[in-house]
């Protein structure tokens, strides 16, 4: 029989312990929607000035520069992202196994700097433009048909 997960594997009221062991445990056991926030990387100085933000989430298609490790100062395009393991795979950053196979080397997002953004996604582009202009996001417009339907439906009252 496999090990059962305890209730204390992840806590949202975590008080950021300075113990490296607890830091690693927190990151490993975090739910995926929290791990997504850990996949941010710094922007290059030019992008930082242009978009008035320090870091952004890495996406497939972004161009990144590796800042540390055996591939330091090399640039490449993000080919794959593993959200569960918090790893980024960049084209051209390969290791050669003893049997001759080439594998993409997993990189940590903290060691990367985004040099060029992939702006094919309209939502990502809109968010960046909003940050740049400093305005708040506008609420989505409700269609006339939806507004008419909302006005004609009676409000339900709660029974006591």
Instruction: Read off the pLDDT band of 155 (50, 70, 90).
Output: low
Instruction: Read off the pLDDT band of 55 (50, 70, 90).
Output: very high
- For 65-83, what is each residue's pLDDT tens digit? 999 999 999 999 999 999 9
Q: What one-character-per-residue DSSP string does 22-54 give?
A: HHHHHHHH--HHHHGGGGEEEEPHHHHHHHT-S
> pTM of this prediction?
0.75
- For 90-148, what is each residue's pLDDT tens digit? 999 999 999 999 999 999 999 999 999 999 999 999 988 888 887 766 666 666 666 66
Residue-range domain boundaries for the chain: 19-119
Contact between 17 and 88 under an 8 Å Cβ cutoff? The reply is: no
Contact between 90 and 117 under an 8 Å Cβ cutoff? The reply is: no
Average pLDDT on 56-70 reads 96
Nearest-angstrom CA–CA distance, 112 and 73: 10
Q: What CATH number is given for 19-119 in this structure? A: 2.30.30.30
Higher-confidence residue of 1 and 35: namely 35
């Amino acid at each position: 029989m496999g090990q059962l997960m305890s209730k204390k594997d992840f806590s949202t009221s975590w008080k950021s312990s300075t113990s490296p062991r607890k830091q690693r445990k927190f990151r490993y056991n975090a739910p995926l929607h929290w791990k997504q926030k850990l996949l941010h990387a710094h922007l290059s100085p030019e992008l930082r000035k242009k978009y008035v933000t320090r870091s952004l989430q890495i996406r497939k298609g972004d161009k990144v520069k590796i800042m540390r490790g055996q591939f330091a100062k090399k640039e490449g395009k993000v080919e794959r992202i593993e959200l569960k393991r918090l790893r980024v795979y960049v084209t051209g950053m390969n290791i050669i196994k003893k049997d001759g196979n080439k594998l993409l080397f997993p990189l940590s997002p903290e060691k990367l700097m985004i040099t060029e953004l992939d702006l094919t996604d309209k939502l990502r582009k809109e968010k960046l433009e909003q940050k740049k202009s400093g305005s708040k996001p506008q609420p989505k417009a409700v269609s006339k048909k939806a507004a008419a339907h909302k006005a004609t439906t009676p409000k339900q009252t709660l029974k006591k």
